[in-house]
């Protein structure tokens, strides 16, 4: 009986993962950019969606989402390193890829796995296509309920399982930008760019994040003022929450949008609890100016372009342009 339940759970879990991956593929294939090797990139050019901090970025430079951190420049690197960095194959397999002629420069097979190439070189191809986001990825996922933001398989189905296989093989690996709880749905960013991740989660950055929240009892009339006051200290915290905007639905006082400019542990749920309300559903609809447009269905994933990031996240201490929620 137990075995039956377990195998039924496993098959459900596998089906869920297949469905989510299929949706992710759908969102990616819907991109207007020409596609190569399954992912949208512009042949012969650095892909439009590239967000990079690895080369050419001047630390501290202002004017753009990542300040000087964003760049599409690239420096020479070994082919085997490039292949493993972008998730094509393990470094140990790279010789076989090269021997099979899968990596070409100007149409000619590259001869050695230790040959130096520049990832953005428009003459470089892997399996006939431009390298897959050679300078880093910023992806936006519509997180479904029931998946955790963790690499630990003991914690159950993970948002990382929903990524395309090649992205799962990238090194540095893809990491979530902050976390959403297992039961929370909505906008989740993931990137393999550690500095960008740090900038997006930095408490100094004050990026507004808007949540749609349902609770089990009416919000008290003073909740918006208390949340906005900057004096609400959650239990176990040394500092009060930064001012947050609570807009209670006039038709039902059990529904609201809440905009936070920080990300304390379980912050929405704990703030609502402090107002005597238990959260029954939670959905993040925006992060800075980024929304779920282009990833309307749970499980869908799209790439965030550098331009979208620049538009969506300011570079000042005062934070990015929210959706006004
Ligand atoms: N706050 C929470 O309580 N949970 C989330 O998933 C996100 C913010």
- Is the C-beta atom of 182 inside 6 A of ligand 1? no
- The alpha carbon of 181 and the centre of ligand 1 are apart by a number of angstroms equal to 6
Neighbours of 289 (CB within 10 A): 19
* pTM greater than 0.85: no
- The alpha carbon of 46 and the centre of ligand 1 are apart by a number of angstroms equal to 35
- Residue 6 is predicted with a pLDDT of 42
- The alpha carbon of 279 and the centre of ligand 1 are apart by a number of angstroms equal to 10
User: CB within 8 A of 114, min separation 6: which ones?
Assistant: 78, 79, 80
Domains of the chain with bracketed CATH: 77-126 (3.10.290), 138-313 (3.30.2350.10)
- Residue 279 is predicted with a pLDDT of 98
- Is the C-beta atom of 248 inside 6 A of ligand 1? no
- Residue 151 is predicted with a pLDDT of 97
- Across the chain, mean pLDDT equals 81
Q: How many Å is the maximal CA-CA distance in the chain? A: 71
- Is the C-beta atom of 282 inside 6 A of ligand 1? yes
- Is the C-beta atom of 213 inside 6 A of ligand 1? no
Asked if 159 and 149 touch (Cβ cutoff 8 Å), the reply is yes
- The alpha carbon of 264 and the centre of ligand 1 are apart by a number of angstroms equal to 8
Pocket test for ligand 1, best of 145, 148, 211, 259 (most atoms within 8 A of CB): 211
- Residue 15 is predicted with a pLDDT of 53
Residue 214: beta bridge partners? 255, 281
- Is the C-beta atom of 20 inside 6 A of ligand 1? no
- Is the C-beta atom of 174 inside 6 A of ligand 1? no
- Residue 52 is predicted with a pLDDT of 32
User: For residue range 223-258, what is the model confidence (pLDDT) as tens digits?
Assistant: 999 999 999 999 999 999 999 999 999 999 999 999
User: For residue range 206-222, what is the model confidence (pLDDT) as tens digits?
Assistant: 999 999 999 999 999 99
User: CB within 8 A of 217, min separation 6: which ones?
Assistant: 254, 276, 277, 278
- Residue 203 is predicted with a pLDDT of 83
Inform me whether the pLDDT recorded for 294 exceeds 80. yes
- Is the C-beta atom of 187 inside 6 A of ligand 1? no
- The alpha carbon of 26 and the centre of ligand 1 are apart by a number of angstroms equal to 27
- Residue 19 is predicted with a pLDDT of 52
- Residue 212 is predicted with a pLDDT of 98
User: For residue range 145-183, what is the model confidence (pLDDT) as tens digits?
Assistant: 999 999 999 999 999 999 999 999 999 999 999 999 999
- Is the C-beta atom of 183 inside 6 A of ligand 1? no
- Residue 242 is predicted with a pLDDT of 97
> Average pLDDT for residues 17-33, to the nearest whole number?
43
Of 181, 218, 310, 323, catalytic: 181
- Residue 48 is predicted with a pLDDT of 31
Report the chain's terminal Cα–Cα distance, integer Å: 49
Inform me whether the pLDDT recorded for 81 exceeds 50. yes
Residue nearest to atom 4 of ligand 1 (CA): 266
Pocket test for ligand 1, best of 148, 183, 184 (most atoms within 8 A of CB): 184
> Average pLDDT for residues 264-293, to the nearest whole number?
98
Q: Which long-range contacts (CB under 8 A, 24 or more apart) does 264-271 make?
A: 264/234, 264/237, 266/181, 267/234, 267/241, 268/211, 268/213, 269/181, 270/234, 270/235, 271/227, 271/232, 271/234, 271/241, 271/244
319: confidence class by pLDDT, cuts 50, 70, 90? very low
Residue nearest to atom 7 of ligand 1 (CA): 180
Inform me whether the pLDDT recorded for 124 exceeds 80. yes
Catalytic residue flag (residue 181): yes
Pocket test for ligand 1, best of 266, 271, 275 (most atoms within 8 A of CB): 266
Inform me whether the pLDDT recorded for 261 exceeds 80. yes
């Amino acid at each position: 009986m137990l075995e039956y339940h377990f195998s039924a759970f496993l098959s459900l879990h596998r089906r869920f993962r297949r469905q989510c991956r299929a949706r992710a593929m759908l969102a990616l294939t819907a991109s207007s950019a020409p596609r190569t090797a399954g992912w949208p990139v512009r042949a012969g050019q650095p892909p439009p969606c590239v967000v990079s901090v690895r080369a050419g970025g001047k630390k501290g430079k202002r004017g753009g989402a990542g300040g000087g951190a964003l760049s599409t420049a690239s420096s020479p690197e070994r082919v085997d390193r490039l292949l493993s960095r972008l998730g094509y194959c393990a470094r140990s397999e790279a010789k076989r890829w090269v021997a099979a002629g899968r990596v070409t420069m100007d149409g000619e097979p590259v001869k050695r796995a230790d040959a130096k190439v520049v990832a953005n070189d428009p003459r470089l191809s892997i399996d006939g296509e431009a390298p897959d986001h050679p300078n880093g990825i910023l992806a936006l996922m519509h997180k479904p309920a029931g998946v955790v933001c963790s690499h630990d398989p003991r914690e159950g189905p993970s948002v990382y399982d929903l990524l395309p296989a090649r992205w799962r093989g990238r090194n540095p690996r893809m990491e979530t930008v902050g976390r959403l709880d297992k039961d929370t749905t909505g906008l989740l960013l993931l990137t393999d760019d550690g500095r960008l991740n740090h900038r997006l989660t930095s408490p100094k950055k004050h990026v507004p994040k808007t949540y749609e929240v349902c609770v089990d009892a009416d919000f008290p009339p003073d909740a918006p003022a208390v949340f906005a006051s900057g004096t609400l200290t959650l239990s176990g915290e040394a500092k009060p929450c930064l001012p947050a905007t609570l807009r209670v639905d006039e038709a039902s006082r059990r529904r609201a949008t809440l905009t936070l400019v920080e990300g304390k542990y379980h912050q929405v749920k704990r703030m609502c609890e402090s107002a005597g309300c238990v959260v029954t559903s939670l959905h993040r609809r925006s992060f800075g100016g980024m929304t779920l447009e282009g990833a309307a269905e749970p499980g869908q994933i799209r790439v965030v372009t550098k331009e979208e990031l620049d538009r969506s996240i300011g570079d000042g201490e005062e934070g990015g342009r929210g959706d006004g929620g």
